[in-house]
Amino acid sequence: MSLLPNIKPSLSELFDLADEMWYLAGDDSVDMLWYTKRTTLAGVYASTEVYMTQDHSEGFRNTWSFLDRRLTDVYTVGNTTKNVSQFLGYSARNAINVLRSKGVKI
């Protein structure tokens, strides 16, 4: 599937697989996170599969460690994004309240 003519069907299969995994995990979201979750899972799956092709450890032990690190990275990035988003929201509301306290009509 890695040959150039197969890229489109390969990506389609990858995203169908990610969608199925989230469905089996009980995800029924219908918001913008639907796309984010599936794209993230597809990336983690694809990178882990590529790593696995070069792994000669017993029981693919190194691949499992690689997968654990990628999932930790996804969790960390997700939490950081959420925290930054909350901070920006609070900062914007505080700035508006300060301007209102100074008599600005907002």
Higher pLDDT, 55 or 99: 55
Cα–Cα distance between 10 and 90 in angstroms, integer? Answer: 42
Q: 65 in a domain, yes or no?
A: yes
Half-sphere exposure of 29 (CA within 13 A, CB side): 12
Cα atoms in the Cβ-side hemisphere of radius 13 Å centred on 3: 2
Domain for residue 106, yes or no? Answer: no
Per-residue pLDDT, 12: 92
What is the arithmetic mean of pLDDT over 3-14? 90
Domain around 54: 4-101
Give the model's pLDDT for residue 67. 95
In a domain, 75, yes or no: yes
Residue 1 has pLDDT above 80, yes or no: no
Cα three-residue angle 73-78-81, rounded to 5 degrees: 125
Mean pLDDT of the chain: 89
Which has more pLDDT, 105 or 44?
44
How does pLDDT run across 36-84, given as a tens digit for each residue?
889 999 999 999 999 999 999 999 999 999 999 999 998 888 778 777 8
pLDDT at 4 over 80: yes
- 62 within a domain of the structure (yes/no): yes
What is the total count of domains within the chain?
Answer: 1
